[in-house]
A and B are shown apart, each in its own frame.
Chain A
Amino acid sequence: MKKVIIGNHAVSWGARLARAEVISAYPITPQTQVVEELSEMCADGRLDARFLKVESEHSAMAACIGASATGARAFTATSSHGLALMHEMLHWAAGGRHPIVMANINRALGPGWNIWTDQTDSLSQRDTGWVQLYCETNQEVLDTTIMAFRLAETVDLPVMIVLDAFYLSHTAEPVDIPDQDAVDAFLPRRQARFKLDVSDPHAFGALVRPDSYMEMRLQLQEAMERTRDVFDRVEVEWQQRFGRRYGAVEAYRADDAELLLVTSGTITSTARFVVDRRRERNEAVGLVKVKMFRPFPVERLRALLGGARQVAVLDRNLSPGRGGIFSEETRAALYDLPEETRPAIHGYVVGLGGRDVTPTVLDEIIDRTRASAVPEREDVWVGVNP
């Protein structure tokens, strides 16, 4: 069934088709339609779930943790300050190995108070132990939401689906909505390996001393490392059933490219357009889209970017005092490549706080990159008012 729906409703449809059993959420712009639609679905019986309308995002995540620890499939959605408020419980969810799925609508953090898109909210949570999957289209949002539950419950890690405020959250696109039966076959009901159960009582989350803590952290790291392969297998099965696949990393017209753009989120769609135009002029420009940020697809990026002459990484985010976060991660990932295949990495900070990243901006980035064999600086800010 095809429907024209906004990105936020694609999230809601994903959670519904995944048969989320406990939803706990608190409203924040630009996430609100996700939970409004889900509350409608629960109210009219299209979704059989308990919806907890809690008093904060911190409690939203705590309730998801309680539900997940009791064996339920738990879901929430938030954005920006809401995600920041959850921070403590994001660690708790990952450390407790609870397969919670959450959608985060990328929004800038204040002050200055700003409701528009910016990836710094989700990227600030990179060390919490959540898998992070960035989306480009509403179809990808819906598909990724359902796949996220399968992934989470396979590796016992929480998964965050990330989409741009307004450019996706409030923008309507045609979305193919899969049949419930087909989704049920892909994603059966959760069978928790460990849970709070009065017939088999155990204590969870107790004090762990230095003699055991490191081993638990190692298990978390190993689960993250497994996640790369598990995600591929989940996507292959999704493709077999529904005909669509995205990849942890996607190469677009990247063959023989001398300059590769690296993007995430909706900037990718604009970049596809610009790359097409450059290719029409026989310019060797290509694109690599990063969907998976945690675990970081190091080997995949080395394979795709190694050998290009130049790489331009676009960051709609900022780690103040360091720069763009994707470019920092990409540089670190490629550092071990032999010098002859290691490209020069040009970092560009763009589009903060929802500023439009137009084809003109991308053309400027391509031209500036090609004009300098070595990067002007580690991070060049483009589109900044004089």
Chain B
Amino acid sequence: MSQVMIADRVPTHELMTSGHLACPGCAAPLAMRLVLKALGPQTIVVMPASCWSIIAGPWPQSSLKVPLYHTAFETGAATASGVRAALDMQGDRDTTVMVWAGDGGTFDIGLQALSGAAERNEDILYCCYDNEAYMNTGVQRSSATPRGAWTSTTPASHPEASAKKDIVAVLAAHHIPYIATATVAYPVDLLEKVKKAKAIRGTRFLHILSPCPPGWKFPDEATIELARMAVACRVFPLLEIEDGVRWRFTMDDDTTEPLQPYLRCQGRFAHLTDEQIAQFQSDVTARWKWIERQVAASE
């Protein structure tokens, strides 16, 4: 798709301002900017502790032009449930209540509240921008950190030992109406998924891979390319899941790029041996095949 065509399909109105406090090259503000373009001004954002707590700006500033409630780390989905309930009591069924949380606030400390809200099928859109570690506190591992990665709590001599938690499968097991994965490398795909999610009632979950230059150790200008490579080498498949049971790949084509270049351009994987890369590849392949079986069972 040409750049002109993409530009035509991205709404021009902005609900996020310049002057935000993200690091250079951070994918998270790009993701927010696009998501808000798709949602529009009738949106309330609930934000548990994350990099975005800083990016949004200190009191009395805000880099968002929509209402924003900063809440405690583990409470994104619960706080949003309360916002939704209050809007319902006011007869407002149209405003979208969006949680904007990082991987720590979603995969780890916020998982209980998220599971509760998903089980109750609260009418909220939960967006997790996933930079695969606790970046705001200085790159400590989370359960979203991939196996083999360096973080400040998994030194290169003892890198992350566990595979990344399959959060999408966890949410699918709750049978919520809509789950999707997206990255900033595919903005039109991201916008379309948000628009689709906006029109659905019930709990909707959007998992956005968010490359982090200082945490993953790559040059600021490579963010979009990293996000694209993660999809192309099947580390981060682009998906939609309806009601937890109807799985669908949403990529334009199914050609696969090799894993090696994706890993080799990130300092957090610099220590990996060929053997460890082979192990990484086998994790990626196994998960891809598992998803293929879900997709096949959906057809």
CA distance A197 to B92 in the complex (A): 11
- Given A62-B79, A203-B56, the answer on whether A50 and B89 have CB atoms closer than 8 Å is yes
CB–CB B78/A69 < 8 A = no
Residues of A73-125 whose CB lies within 8 A of B: 74, 88-89, 92
CB–CB B41/A198 < 8 A = yes
In the complex, which of the residues B44, B60, B81 contacts A63, with contact meaning CB atoms closer than 8 Å? B81
- Given A58-B74, A206-B58, A212-B59, the answer on whether A201 and B67 have CB atoms closer than 8 Å is yes
Residues of B85-121 whose CB lies within 8 A of A: 85-90, 95, 112-113, 115-116, 119-120
In the complex, which of the residues B56, B60, B86 contacts A70, with contact meaning CB atoms closer than 8 Å? B86
Identify the closest chain B residue to A59 (Cβ).
Answer: B78
CB–CB B80/A66 < 8 A = yes
Identify the closest chain A residue to B92 (Cβ).
Answer: A198
CA distance A59 to B85 in the complex (A): 14
Complex interface bits, A332-357 against B, C-beta within 8 A gives 1, otherwise 0: 00000000000000000000000000
CB–CB B78/A63 < 8 A = yes
Shortest CB distance A193–B (Å)? 15
Does A24 interact with chain B (Cβ within 8 Å)?
Answer: yes
CA distance A206 to B82 in the complex (A): 19
CB–CB A72/B70 < 8 A = no
CB–CB A66/B79 < 8 A = yes
Shortest CB distance A129–B (Å)? 15
Chain A interface bracket (under 10, 10 to 19, 20 to 34, 35 or more):
35 or more
- Given A24-B82, A56-B112, the answer on whether A198 and B66 have CB atoms closer than 8 Å is yes
CB–CB A92/B72 < 8 A = yes
Shortest CB distance A188–B (Å)? 16
Does A202 interact with chain B (Cβ within 8 Å)?
Answer: yes
Does A52 interact with chain B (Cβ within 8 Å)?
Answer: yes
CB–CB A62/B78 < 8 A = yes
Identify which of B78, B83, B119 gathers the most chain A CB atoms within 10 Å of its CB. B78
Identify the closest chain A residue to B85 (Cβ).
Answer: A50
Does A49 interact with chain B (Cβ within 8 Å)?
Answer: yes
Does B54 interact with chain A (Cβ within 8 Å)?
Answer: yes
Identify the closest chain B residue to A51 (Cβ).
Answer: B85
CB–CB A69/B75 < 8 A = no
Does A209 interact with chain B (Cβ within 8 Å)?
Answer: yes
Identify the closest chain B residue to A209 (Cβ).
Answer: B58
Please name all residues of chain B whose beta carbon is closer than 8 Å to the beta carbon of A89 when the two chains form the complex. 72, 75
CB–CB B78/A66 < 8 A = yes
Does A54 interact with chain B (Cβ within 8 Å)?
Answer: yes
CA distance A212 to B85 in the complex (A): 32
CA distance A110 to B174 in the complex (A): 33
Does A256 interact with chain B (Cβ within 8 Å)?
Answer: no
Does A64 interact with chain B (Cβ within 8 Å)?
Answer: yes
Please name all residues of chain B whose beta carbon is closer than 8 Å to the beta carbon of A202 when the two chains form the complex. 62, 67-68
Please name all residues of chain B whose beta carbon is closer than 8 Å to the beta carbon of A66 when the two chains form the complex. 46, 69, 71, 78-86
CA distance A212 to B71 in the complex (A): 19
Shortest CB distance B49–A (Å)? 10
* A interface, over-half SS: mixed
Does A22 interact with chain B (Cβ within 8 Å)?
Answer: yes
CA distance A49 to B86 in the complex (A): 9
Does A53 interact with chain B (Cβ within 8 Å)?
Answer: yes
CA distance A92 to B78 in the complex (A): 14
Complex interface bits, B23-45 against A, C-beta within 8 A gives 1, otherwise 0: 00000000000000000011110
Please name all residues of chain B whose beta carbon is closer than 8 Å to the beta carbon of A59 when the two chains form the complex. 75, 77-78, 81, 112-113, 116
Shortest CB distance A9–B (Å)? 23
Does A205 interact with chain B (Cβ within 8 Å)?
Answer: yes
In the complex, which of the residues B65, B72, B82 contacts A74, with contact meaning CB atoms closer than 8 Å? B82
Complex interface bits, A4-36 against B, C-beta within 8 A gives 1, otherwise 0: 000000000000000001101000000000000
Does B53 interact with chain A (Cβ within 8 Å)?
Answer: yes
Does A208 interact with chain B (Cβ within 8 Å)?
Answer: yes
Does B64 interact with chain A (Cβ within 8 Å)?
Answer: yes
Does B61 interact with chain A (Cβ within 8 Å)?
Answer: yes
Shortest CB distance B170–A (Å)? 15
CB–CB A62/B82 < 8 A = yes
Complex interface bits, B136-167 against A, C-beta within 8 A gives 1, otherwise 0: 00000000000000000000000000000000
Identify which of A92, A196, A204 gathers the most chain B CB atoms within 10 Å of its CB. A196
Identify which of B60, B68, B75 gathers the most chain A CB atoms within 10 Å of its CB. B75
CA distance A214 to B136 in the complex (A): 25
Does A159 interact with chain B (Cβ within 8 Å)?
Answer: no
Does B187 interact with chain A (Cβ within 8 Å)?
Answer: no
Identify the closest chain B residue to A53 (Cβ).
Answer: B120
Does B57 interact with chain A (Cβ within 8 Å)?
Answer: yes
CB–CB B64/A55 < 8 A = no
CB–CB A196/B70 < 8 A = no
Shortest CB distance A126–B (Å)? 20
Please name all residues of chain A whose beta carbon is closer than 8 Å to the beta carbon of B64 when the two chains form the complex. 201, 203
CA distance A360 to B4 in the complex (A): 88
Identify which of A53, A63, A71, A212 gathers the most chain B CB atoms within 10 Å of its CB. A63
Please name all residues of chain B whose beta carbon is closer than 8 Å to the beta carbon of A224 when the two chains form the complex. none
CA distance A76 to B84 in the complex (A): 17
CA distance A60 to B203 in the complex (A): 18
CB–CB B75/A72 < 8 A = no
CB–CB B57/A206 < 8 A = yes
Does A207 interact with chain B (Cβ within 8 Å)?
Answer: yes
- Given A52-B120, A55-B115, A70-B86, the answer on whether A65 and B79 have CB atoms closer than 8 Å is yes
CA distance A66 to B81 in the complex (A): 7
In the complex, which of the residues A64, A67, A88, A198 contacts B67, with contact meaning CB atoms closer than 8 Å? A198
17 inter-chain pairs at a CB distance below 8 angstroms, sorted by A residue, are A24-B82, A49-B89, A50-B89, A58-B75, A59-B77, A59-B116, A63-B82, A65-B71, A65-B82, A66-B83, A66-B86, A70-B82, A71-B86, A71-B90, A198-B42, A206-B56, A207-B54
* 3 closest residue pairs by CB, A with B: A66-B82, A55-B116, A70-B86
